[in-house]
Amino acid sequence: MTDSIGQLRERMAALMDLRTINQLLEWDQQTMMPPRGVQTRAESLATLQRIRHEMFVSDDVGQLLDAADAEINGQGPDSDDAALIRVTRRRWEKARRVPSHLAAELARASSVGQKEWVTARANSDFASFIPNLERNYELARRYVDCFDGYECAYDVLLDDYEPGMKTTEVAALFSELKSELTPMIAAITAHADRVDDSVLHGSFPIDRQRALTLEVIERMGFDRAAWRIDDAVHPFASGLGSQDVRITTRWEESYFASSLYGSMHECGHGLYEAGVDKKLQRTPLGFGESLALHESQSRMWENMVGRSRQFCNVLAPTVARIFGGASADLNQDTLYRAVNKISPSFIRVEADELTYGLHIVLRFELEQELIEGRLKVADLPEAWNARFKEYFGLDVPDDAHGVLQDVHWASGLVGYFPTYALGNLIAGQLWRQAHVDLPDLDDQLEAGELAGLREWLRENVHRYGSKYSSRELLQRVVGGPIEVAPFVAYVKHKLGAVYELDF
């Protein structure tokens, strides 16, 4: 009798090691690598990608999957073995469609594109970046062409970031979300003077911002023995296994909320990776695959915890103590109102909780048009700026504040953006459920105790890694699919009070 499931696990463990190595190469590229290292790094990533691809798509893996499937016959779909086979087979069937040389080209173009983007963004120079972006969209189309049987090209890309999700589902959710957000934003914009966030602006030395950020994320679960925090142009989180979690942030001397909430966001991602069950480590289930679920974690910590009236009870005196001076008298209510100021603005990652969704809808629409060839890369800034004016009523001053602001397209990540807004929706659902399961959650937050929520999330979300899709996991935890209503109810409740508006 053969131990096929054991062999499958061993094969996958090596592939997971290579995935971890890939994470390190990308983390290093964005935090540590000297600029002229870019060419060598692109070659390293391309070779690694090719080897991972070849090891994974081999016929052997298919035979192991079949044999392991037969071997575990009788284990229910919730067993780790069954989930491992199910998830691995789905990825294997998808990966086999993509030729090695295309996978390597995608990796190389991503690496070069990221580096070029840093310069293009710094100079707000879209023209010089057109060839990179055209290349990335051409490669994305060639990637889509590897598949068949999809409703629309975008489905293929979206599925890489949110397994099983369809473009039509997202379009329906976003349509509902947009119709809810638009009148709220209009009402709030008409009463913009009701919230003053001047306490967040001033002069905040970076070393004190570092101290503030560390103090807050250590409450969340950041552990110096197993985590790092570094600087990056475009902040991100990376899990090299559950015992080596790396988050990044950027600092703004005149506005401490940027790094503080950015770091809480990335720490939320990190907690997901750190919380995956030990027995799933080095398996294909050992990390959070659904980016919408991942984003539900980061945005819950950033917004629902970090911008709650309750947590401001602890945050305000911390800010006052660390910065002193003009901040010395900061109180809970002043901070709470300031960090919930709603104001249409140019940069997605600095957008408030309400307008954020519209930034995503805009990108979702544009990347569908680009991938279907209805929009040319060269015409992208014009399209971006026109739509931005329509949604936000603002004139984009330059491409660094417009189409060049995000690294995603530069890295070849098309179909990724929707997961951010889906994450908000899921966060709304989980947040409601957490309050049902933890009746004293608000009191805990008021006392600055974050362990209760973290453990609830670990128990209900993190520990499963990729075992369940976002659809399956939501069914288990809240008993239904993704919905818009809980998130909308949450923002209406909070912002209605802050702005004294009757939503």
Known catalytic residues? 266
Hey, what long-range contacts does 317-321 have (CB within 8 A, 24 or more apart)? Answer: 318/212, 318/215, 318/216, 319/212, 319/256
Least Cβ distance, residue 281 to its own copies (angstroms)? 8
* Residues 6+ away with beta carbon under 8 Å from 64: 4, 7, 8, 11
Nearest-angstrom CA–CA distance, 370 and 427: 29
Identity of the residue, 170 or 237, whose beta carbon is nearer to its own copies in the bound complex: 237
* Residues 6+ away with beta carbon under 8 Å from 499: 187, 188, 191, 194, 195, 342
Residues 174, 175, 179: CA angle, nearest 5 degrees:
110
Identity of the residue, 67 or 226, whose beta carbon is nearer to its own copies in the bound complex: 226
Least Cβ distance, residue 23 to its own copies (angstroms)? 10
* Residues 6+ away with beta carbon under 8 Å from 407: 114, 117, 233, 234
Identity of the residue, 240 or 330, whose beta carbon is nearer to its own copies in the bound complex: 240
Could you give the C-alpha distances from 328 to 235, 285, 316, in angstroms and in order? 29, 47, 9
Given a contact cutoff of 8 angstroms between Cβ atoms, the answer to whether 404 and 126 are in contact is yes
Identity of the residue, 16 or 316, whose beta carbon is nearer to its own copies in the bound complex: 16
Rounded (10°) CA dihedral 185, 191, 192, 197: -110
Taking alpha carbons only, the member of 24, 22, 27 closest to residue 236 is 27
Given a contact cutoff of 8 angstroms between Cβ atoms, the answer to whether 435 and 441 are in contact is yes
Identity of the residue, 22 or 340, whose beta carbon is nearer to its own copies in the bound complex: 22
Least Cβ distance, residue 115 to its own copies (angstroms)? 12
Least Cβ distance, residue 193 to its own copies (angstroms)? 46
Q: What is the DSSP letter of 255?
A: B
Identity of the residue, 97 or 228, whose beta carbon is nearer to its own copies in the bound complex: 228
Specify the residue for token string 């902040």: 235
Identity of the residue, 18 or 501, whose beta carbon is nearer to its own copies in the bound complex: 18
Least Cβ distance, residue 108 to its own copies (angstroms)? 11
Given a contact cutoff of 8 angstroms between Cβ atoms, the answer to whether 199 and 327 are in contact is yes
Query: How many other C-beta atoms are found inside a 10 Å radius of the C-beta of residue 214?
Result: 14
Nearest-angstrom CA–CA distance, 401 and 404: 7
Residues contributing to the site for its own copies (CB under 8 A): 13-14, 17-18, 20-21, 24-25, 28, 32-37, 39-41, 43-44, 46-48, 50-51, 223-228, 240-241, 243-245, 281-282
Residue spans of alpha helices (H) in 347-469: 356-371, 380-392, 418-437, 441-446, 451-460
Least Cβ distance, residue 266 to its own copies (angstroms)? 15
Mapped onto helix, strand or coil, the DSSP state of residue 75 is coil
Given a contact cutoff of 8 angstroms between Cβ atoms, the answer to whether 300 and 272 are in contact is no
Nearest-angstrom CA–CA distance, 161 and 293: 10
Identity of the residue, 46 or 445, whose beta carbon is nearer to its own copies in the bound complex: 46
**What number of H helices and E strands is found in the chain?**
20, 3
Identity of the residue, 46 or 414, whose beta carbon is nearer to its own copies in the bound complex: 46
Least Cβ distance, residue 241 to its own copies (angstroms)? 4
Question: What letter represents residue 489's amino acid?
Answer: A
Least Cβ distance, residue 340 to its own copies (angstroms)? 34
State residue 228 phi and psi, 5-degree precision.
-135, 155
DSSP-derived pairing of the beta strands 227-231 and 245-249: parallel
Identity of the residue, 30 or 313, whose beta carbon is nearer to its own copies in the bound complex: 30
Q: What is the DSSP letter of 238?
A: E
Nearest-angstrom CA–CA distance, 134 and 490: 40
